[in-house]
Amino acid sequence: MADPALHPETRLQQQQQTQPLKRIAIDYNPGACTHCPDSNTITLTFDHRGGARWRSTTRFPYGTFSSLIQCPKGNTSGLNFNVYLSSLEGNKSQDEIDFEFLGNDKTIVQTNYYTTGNGNREQIHDLGFDCSDGFHEYIIKWGPNLEWLIDGNLVRREERKEGEGFPEKPMFLYASVWDASHIEEGRWTGPYVRCDAPYVCLYKDIHVPVGTAMDGSSDS
């Protein structure tokens, strides 16, 4: 966590300052992920090879994270596309903060957060647009409180409360496209229909906090 001795105004300034994401790691299927650091763009493709997942190469203890995202076009039933923070994907005691798009309805987005592996804090938000029609900005602000913003508009805020779980572990920035049709027997994202593959999710102007990056090699 951040140095508690920092003046609150200094902490607030650090939480809001961002810089372009320069380096990523690709966790699986690198052929389905294209990264162009010069233009700050990342493309994820879901096709016969499956999807892919990228992440920042460093963790962050707090801060503001943002990306412009255009979700895949066509009938995306069954797929999940997202941007989120996680202390370590695959670790069952992870902390996590999510934006998740559900392929059976591209006019909504789901937010959620986990503390030591415990989630069940999902909320569904009407976007007022089809997330595949163009780029929109999605922002996670993680500090004394949690905030999710879309195109500059606050859609959810969670305050830190004594005795209740709150994300505290340093986290990577992640994004992926994957087949989630097996979750809840297809009730979450719908059945995968594959009729419009390949499905392409575009990320650009990806920003992460300034001056707070930590070594990403730890597995805790």
User: Which pair of tokens denotes residue 16?
Assistant: 């809001």
Determine whether 100 is an active site residue. Answer: yes
Q: Taking the CB of residue 62, how many other CB atoms lie within 10 A of it?
A: 19
Between CA 95 and CA 1 the distance in angstroms is 13
Contact status, residue 148 vs residue 85, Cβ threshold 8 Å: no
Between CA 71 and CA 202 the distance in angstroms is 6
Kindly report the backbone phi and psi dihedral angles of residue 142, in degrees, each rounded to the nearest multiple of 5, phi listed first: -120, 110
Kindly report the backbone phi and psi dihedral angles of residue 137, in degrees, each rounded to the nearest multiple of 5, phi listed first: -95, 130
Out of 9, 89, 96, 164, pick the active-site residue. Answer: 96
Out of 9, 100, 162, 184, pick the active-site residue. Answer: 100
Known catalytic residues are: 96, 100
